[in-house]
Amino acid sequence: METLVDILRTRALTDPDGIAYIFLKGSEECKITYAQLDLEARRVAKLLEGQGSSALICHLPGLEYIYSFFGCLYAGVIAIPIYPPRFNQKLDRLSAIVSEIDVKCALISQSVLENVKPLLSEQPNLSQVKFIKTDLPHSLTANDLPFLQPEITGQSLAFLQFTSGSTSQPKGVMLTHANLINNLQAIHEKFESSKDSVGVIWLPPYHDMGLIGGILQPLYIGFPIFLMSPYSFLQRPMRWLQAVSQYKATISGAPNFAFDLCTKRITDEQAATLDLSSWKLAFCGAETVHAHVLENFYQKFKVAGFKKEAFYPCYGLAEATLIVSGGVKDKAVIVESFDATAIESQGRAVKSSVDLKSSRSYVGCGTAPKKYSIKIVDPITLKSLPDGAVGEIWFTGPSVAQGYWGRSEESERTFKAKIAGDSETNYLRTGDLGFLQGDELFVAGRIKDLLIIRGRNLYPQDIEKSVGESHPGLVSGTSAAFSIEFQGEEKLVVVQELDRRDAKPELLQEKSTEFIELIRKKIFEDHDLPVHAIALVKSHSIPITSSGKVQRQATRRLFLDNALPELRRFQEGVQVSS
Amino acid sequence: MNTQIDTVKLFTDYIYKVEKSKQFPTITRDAKISSLGIDSLGMMEIIGCFEDDLGIVIPDDKLATIQTVGDIEKVIMGQMASKLSN
Taking the C-alpha atoms of A83, A88, A90 and A94 in order, what is their torsion angle to the nearest 10 degrees? Answer: 30
The closest CB to that of A525, out of B34, B48, B66, belongs to B34
| Per-residue pLDDT at A576 | 47
| Per-residue pLDDT at A89 | 66
Nearest to A170 by CA among A55, A255, A81: A81
For CA atoms A15, A16, A20, A23, the dihedral sign is negative
Task: Look at A236 and B66 and tell me if their CB atoms are within 8 Å.
Answer: no
| Per-residue pLDDT at A87 | 53
Is the predicted pLDDT of residue A575 greater than 60, yes or no? Answer: no
Set of chain A residues whose Cβ sits within 8 Å of the Cβ of B43: 87
Is the predicted pLDDT of residue A577 greater than 70, yes or no? Answer: no
Does residue B1 lie in a domain region?
no
- Judge whether A120 and A91 are in contact, CB under 8 Å: yes
**Mean pLDDT throughout A295-300?**
97
**Mean pLDDT throughout A461-476?**
88
For CA atoms A219, A220, A225, A229, the dihedral sign is negative
Half-sphere exposure of A228 (CA within 13 A, CB side): 28
| Per-residue pLDDT at A450 | 86
Q: How confident is the model at residue B3 (pLDDT cuts 50, 70, 90)?
A: low
Task: Look at A109 and B61 and tell me if their CB atoms are within 8 Å.
Answer: yes
Amino acid identity at A461: Q
| Per-residue pLDDT at A459 | 87
| Per-residue pLDDT at B40 | 76
Is the predicted pLDDT of residue B19 greater than 90, yes or no? Answer: no
Q: What CA–CA distance (Å, rounded) separates A150 from A136?
A: 24
Does residue B2 lie in a domain region?
no
Half-sphere exposure of A265 (CA within 13 A, CB side): 25
Chain A's closest residue to B34, CA to CA, is A525
The closest CB to that of B57, out of A26, A109, A524, belongs to A26
- Judge whether A416 and A426 are in contact, CB under 8 Å: yes
Task: Look at A87 and B63 and tell me if their CB atoms are within 8 Å.
Answer: yes
**Mean pLDDT throughout A534-552?**
88
Is the predicted pLDDT of residue A133 greater than 50, yes or no? Answer: yes
| Per-residue pLDDT at A578 | 44
Does residue B48 lie in a domain region?
yes
Is the predicted pLDDT of residue A166 greater than 80, yes or no? Answer: no
Is the predicted pLDDT of residue A574 greater than 70, yes or no? Answer: no
Task: Look at B35 and A115 and tell me if their CB atoms are within 8 Å.
Answer: no
Q: How confident is the model at residue A474 (pLDDT cuts 50, 70, 90)?
A: confident
% of chain A with per-residue pLDDT over 90: 72
Is the predicted pLDDT of residue A228 greater than 60, yes or no? Answer: yes
| Per-residue pLDDT at A507 | 87
**DSSP states of B38-72:** --HHHHHHHHHHHHHHHT----HHHHTT--BHHHH
Does residue B44 lie in a domain region?
yes
Is the predicted pLDDT of residue A234 greater than 60, yes or no? Answer: yes
**Mean pLDDT throughout A222-239?**
94
What is the domain range of residue B23? 7-85
Taking the C-alpha atoms of A229, A234, A237 and A241 in order, what is their torsion angle to the nearest 10 degrees? Answer: 20
Task: Look at B61 and A265 and tell me if their CB atoms are within 8 Å.
Answer: no
Q: How far is the CA of A550 from the CAs of A122, A183, A404, A469, in angstroms? A: 31, 36, 24, 17
Distance in Å, alpha carbon of B79 to nearest chain A alpha carbon:
13
Higher-confidence residue of A345 and A220: namely A220
ipTM above 0.85, yes or no: no
**Mean pLDDT throughout A196-224?**
96
Domains of chain A: 4-315 (3.40.50.12780), 459-577 (3.30.300.30)
| Per-residue pLDDT at A473 | 83
| Per-residue pLDDT at B18 | 85
Q: What CA–CA distance (Å, rounded) separates A108 from A116?
A: 10
Q: How confident is the model at residue A403 (pLDDT cuts 50, 70, 90)?
A: very high
- Residue A420 burial by CB count (10 A; 0-12/13-18/19+): exposed, middle or buried? exposed
- Interval A257-267: pLDDT, tens: 999 999 988 99
- Judge whether B48 and B13 are in contact, CB under 8 Å: no
- Interval A553-571: pLDDT, tens: 899 999 999 999 999 999 8
Does residue B15 lie in a domain region?
yes
Average per-residue pLDDT in chain B?
Answer: 84
Set of chain A residues whose Cβ sits within 8 Å of the Cβ of B47: 231, 235
Which uninterrupted H or E stretch holds A517? helix A505-527
Task: Look at A26 and B34 and tell me if their CB atoms are within 8 Å.
Answer: no
Average per-residue pLDDT in chain A?
Answer: 92
Higher-confidence residue of A504 and A375: namely A375
Set of chain B residues whose Cβ sits within 8 Å of the Cβ of A86: 40, 63-64
**CATH code (residue B11):** 1.10.1200.10
Does residue B21 lie in a domain region?
yes
Q: Indicate the range of A4-13, A78-87, B70-79 predicted with least confidence.
A: A78-87
| Per-residue pLDDT at A477 | 80
Is the predicted pLDDT of residue A154 greater than 70, yes or no? Answer: yes
Task: Choose the mutation target among A90, A235, A261 for the interface with B, i.e. most B CBs under 10 Å.
Answer: A235
Q: List B residues 42-81 in contact with A (Cβ-Cβ < 8 A).
A: 43-45, 47-48, 51-52, 57, 59-61, 63-67
What is the number of domains present in chain B?
A: 1
Distance from chain centroid for Cα A397? 21
- Interval A14-45: pLDDT, tens: 999 999 999 998 889 999 999 999 999 999 99
How far is it between the farthest Cα atoms of chain B? 40
Eight-class DSSP state of A32 = E
Task: Choose the mutation target among B21, B57, B60 for the interface with A, i.e. most A CBs under 10 Å.
Answer: B60
CB A550: neighbour CB atoms within 10 A? 22
Is the predicted pLDDT of residue B86 greater than 70, yes or no? Answer: no
Size of interface A-B (CB pairs under 8 A): 72
Does residue B81 lie in a domain region?
yes
Does residue B66 lie in a domain region?
yes
Is the predicted pLDDT of residue B1 greater than 70, yes or no? Answer: no
Task: Choose the mutation target among A30, A119, A524 for the interface with B, i.e. most B CBs under 10 Å.
Answer: A524
| Per-residue pLDDT at A346 | 85
| Per-residue pLDDT at A229 | 93
Task: Look at B60 and A229 and tell me if their CB atoms are within 8 Å.
Answer: yes
